[in-house]
Homo-oligomer: A and B are copies of this chain.
């Protein structure tokens, strides 16, 4: 039977496209020297335990996380960038992602949504550029 780590890694790969945009593996590598366990917990707990659960599909999970990060404000912009990529990898379209952000205007106000859309636009462009590179 697969360990939580192996299961988590499998699930994380379903949400990752290493050729497009920032991804978790880069992030965990960057912090490996001061906290080697951080990556282990993200893979085992966040992906192995939580993302691995039933009753809500990948797109629903990505949408839930995206909304939370927009709500948390611009302070989470590095993770917002990461999870806009995750959302696209999970199968949400650019239009759906923009809509989710617009949907939040009555709940968090314009500032957070403006910052999130600015981040989204940047991610969409970077992925387009990468696509052109590989065409």
Contacts and interface: CB of A to CB of B under 8 A. Distances in A.
Interface of A: 27, 30-31, 33-35, 37-38, 41-42, 45-46, 49-51, 53-56, 60-61, 63-79, 93-96, 98-115, 117-118, 120-121, 124
Nearest to A108: B109
Contacts of A60: 60, 63, 96, 99-100
A72 B111 contact: yes
A120 B65 contact: no
Contact of A107 (B53, B96, B110): B110
Contact of A67 (B41, B68, B94, B117): B68
List of 9 A-B pairs having minimum Cβ-Cβ separation, nearest first: A74-B75, A73-B75, A56-B99, A75-B75, A67-B67, A46-B106, A79-B111, A71-B71, A68-B71
B68 A78 contact: no
A74 B67 contact: no
B105 A50 contact: yes
Given A55-B95, A110-B42, A111-B107, A121 B31 contact: yes
A55 B117 CA distance: 16
A46 B45 CA distance: 10
Contact of A124 (B34, B69, B98, B104): B34
